[in-house]
């Protein structure tokens, strides 16, 4: 009798286990089916964002925060996200396009544009171009090098219009009262152990330390005041910078993307996110003036598309693009060891050589021979190519010439020599740069 009861109890237990197993299987099958359907329903943009997040979990906070999942998904069409001008009236006077490059400072083509006010006014207002979320704050805290006293602030604010878009306003001097209050202590989380020389600012020898105050995401409405920039009294600065980085689009095709900040690899043009009438207004502003430091003269408008400029000039198997003196030591651009073979950001029909602490000049490229040859036509053919400024051609041996030879896809020899280019050149002591 007890044996039969035990057997019956065992049958009941087995039956319950089977029912639970079947039920659990149905539940997980249905859950997986739902998740698969939800995945199918994701737009391509959402899938790309999700892929980037899973591929690159090691990104720094400031590089990755625009992908935060609590930000709204971007619309498929992002061309009307920005609806309000970022400056009053007809300002700015002009906007230096993407890709600015010099002998010192920014040698590698710059990944942001320079809206410029030729009035060198104090406290020029900057507005939010659309509905934004403030996601990151950097305060370069300026100090008098002699006394250590804080003399000024230099702010970079990063905003996300939606997930995967990162809008940067750089070199603001003052923030709006609302943002000041929302940010709180702007002088918190400072790296006081690293004092960076900042030259002479308004007649004062200056260094800065970098502060990154912790903030909660702050919602900002289109047209709201963000802050203010000011022209330097010595006319060495008359604007601020705008960077736009789109992680919802494929990365730019740099041959060695590890050389660059992740934002740089996703550089975009801020004007492309504006409603048509404002986009047209800003596109007419891209260019520069022919005299620097406040000596305003003729405006040279960039007319060759993309009028906003570009930062990526690498062409595999050729000399075109960016080269570096050293192997990669850390993530991020090192301008001080760069050799840049590109086209000018104002007059892109002109080629440009920028060589850190050596030279920077533009020239009309040729398409035959070995003198001032178009960089994208220079291959590993054993030829030594020679480059010179136009004015050097008629200056006898008083100028300099610059010799290049592409060794292979990732190495190029370069040397500066006195004199003018000839038809048969040879190296004396070249240095080899790499991608």
Tell me what pLDDT residue 238 has: 60
Residues 67 and 52: beta-carbon distance below 8 Å = yes
Q: How far apart are the first and last CA of the chain?
A: 86
The pLDDT value given to residue 326: 82
When divided into structural domains, the chain yields a total of: 3
User: Domain span at residue 325?
Assistant: 321-434
Contacts of 59 (CB under 8 A, 6+ apart): 262
Provide the pLDDT for residue 117. Answer: 82
Answer yes or no: is 314 within a domain: no
CA-to-CA distance for 331 and 328, rounded, in angstroms? 7
- Residue 274 shares a structural domain with residue 417: no
With beta carbons less than 8 A apart as the criterion, state whether 383 and 404 touch. Answer: no
| Statement to judge: residues 366 and 255 lie in one domain | no
Given 62, 84, 109, the domain boundary residue is: 62
Question: Is residue 288 classed as helix, strand or coil in its secondary structure?
Answer: strand
pLDDT of amino acid 201: 83
Based on the fold, state whether residues 53 and 149 are members of the same structural domain: no
Both 216 and 331 in one domain: the answer is no
Asked whether residue 313 is domain-assigned, the answer is no
Query: Residues 74, 194: one domain?
Result: yes
Q: Tell me, yes or no, whether 277 and 290 share the same domain.
A: yes
| Same-domain check for residues 380 and 356 | yes
pLDDT score, position 18: 54
CATH number, domain containing residue 133: 2.70.70.10
- Within this chain, do residues 289 and 205 fall inside the same structural domain, yes or no? yes
Note whether residue 53 is domain-resident: yes
DSSP letters for 158-186: EEESSTTEEEEEEEESEE-HHHHHHH--T
Q: Which residues pair with 433 in a beta bridge?
A: 412
The closest alpha carbon to 137, from 106, 202, 182, belongs to 182
Residue 306 lies in a domain: no
Contact partners, residue 188, CB within 8 Å, separation at least 6: 211, 213, 214
Domain stop point among 242, 266, 300: 300
Question: What does the pLDDT read at residue 51?
Answer: 38
Domain identity same for 362 and 430: yes
Tokens for 180, please give them.
């000041």
Together in a domain, 140 and 202 = yes
Boundary (domain end) residue, out of 62, 87, 112: 62
Taking the C-alpha atoms of residue 223 and residue 275, their distance in angstroms, rounded to an integer, is 14
Q: What is the pLDDT along the chain (435 residues), one digit of tens a residue?
A: 444 444 455 554 555 445 555 554 444 444 343 333 333 333 333 333 333 333 333 333 344 789 999 999 999 999 999 999 999 999 999 999 999 999 998 999 999 999 988 766 788 999 999 999 999 999 999 999 999 999 989 999 999 999 999 999 999 999 999 999 999 999 899 998 889 998 888 789 999 999 999 999 999 999 999 999 986 544 445 679 999 999 999 999 999 999 999 999 999 999 999 999 999 999 999 999 875 544 556 889 999 999 999 999 999 999 999 999 987 765 567 888 999 999 999 999 999 999 999 999 999 999 999 999 999 999 999 999 999 998 766 554 458 999 999 999 999 999 999 999 998 999 999 999 999
Phi, psi (deg, nearest 5) at residue 300: -105, 105
DSSP designation for 345: S
* Domain assignment present for 311: no
Domain-embedded: residue 142: yes
**Do 231 and 114 share a domain, yes or no?**
yes
Q: Report if residue 41 sits inside a domain.
A: yes
pLDDT of 235 reads 46
Confirm if 131 and 222 have CB atoms less than 8 A apart: yes
In a domain, 92, yes or no: yes
Residues 58 and 94 in one domain: no
> Looking at residue 334, what is its pLDDT?
81
């Amino acid at each position: 009798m007890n044996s039969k009861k035990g057997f019956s109890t065992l049958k009941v237990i087995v039956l319950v286990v089977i029912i639970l197993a079947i039920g659990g299987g149905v539940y997980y099958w249905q859950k997986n089916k739902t998740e698969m359907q939800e995945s199918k329903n994701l737009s391509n943009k959402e899938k790309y964002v999700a892929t980037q997040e899973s591929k690159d979990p090691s990104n720094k906070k400031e590089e990755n925060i625009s992908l935060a999942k609590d930000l709204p998904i971007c619309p498929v069409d992002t061309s009307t996200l920005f609806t309000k001008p970022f400056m009053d009236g007809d300002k700015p006077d002009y906007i230096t396009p993407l890709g600015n490059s010099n002998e010192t400072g920014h040698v590698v083509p710059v990944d942001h544009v320079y809206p410029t006010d030729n009035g060198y006014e104090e406290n020029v207002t900057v507005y939010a171009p659309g509905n934004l979320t403030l996601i990151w704050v950097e305060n370069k805290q300026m100090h008098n090098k002699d006394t250590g006293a804080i003399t000024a602030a230099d702010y970079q604010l990063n905003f996300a219009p939606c997930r995967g878009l990162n809008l940067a306003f750089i070199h603001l001097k003052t923030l709006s009262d609302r943002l000041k209050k929302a940010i709180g202590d702007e002088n918190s989380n400072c790296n006081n152990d690293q004092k960076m020389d900042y030259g002479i600012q308004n007649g004062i020898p200056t260094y800065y330390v970098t502060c990154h105050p912790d903030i909660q995401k702050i919602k900002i409405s289109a047209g709201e005041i963000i802050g203010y920039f000011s022209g330097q009294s010595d006319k060495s600065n008359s604007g601020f910078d705008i960077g736009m980085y789109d992680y919802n689009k494929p990365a730019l095709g740099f041959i060695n993307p590890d050389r660059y900040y992740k934002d740089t690899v996703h550089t975009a043009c801020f004007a492309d996110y504006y409603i048509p009438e404002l986009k047209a207004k800003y596109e007419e502003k891209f260019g520069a003036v022919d005299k620097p430091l406040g000596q305003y003269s003729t405006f040279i408008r960039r007319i060759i598309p993309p009028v906003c400029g570009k930062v990526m000039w690498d062409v595999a198997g050729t000399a075109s693009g960016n080269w570096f003196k050293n192997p990669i030591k850390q993530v991020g651009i090192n301008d001080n060891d760069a050799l840049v073979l590109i086209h000018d950001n104002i007059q892109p029909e002109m080629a440009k050589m920028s060589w850190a602490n050596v030279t920077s000049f533009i020239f009309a490229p040729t398409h035959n021979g070995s003198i001032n040859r178009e960089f994208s036509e220079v291959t590993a053919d054993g030829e030594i190519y020679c480059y010179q400024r136009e004015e050097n051609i008629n200056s006898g041996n008083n100028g300099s010439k610059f010799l290049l030879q592409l060794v292979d896809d990732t190495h190029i020899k370069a040397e500066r020599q006195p004199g003018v280019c000839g038809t048969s050149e040879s190296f004396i002591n070249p240095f080899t740069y790499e991608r």
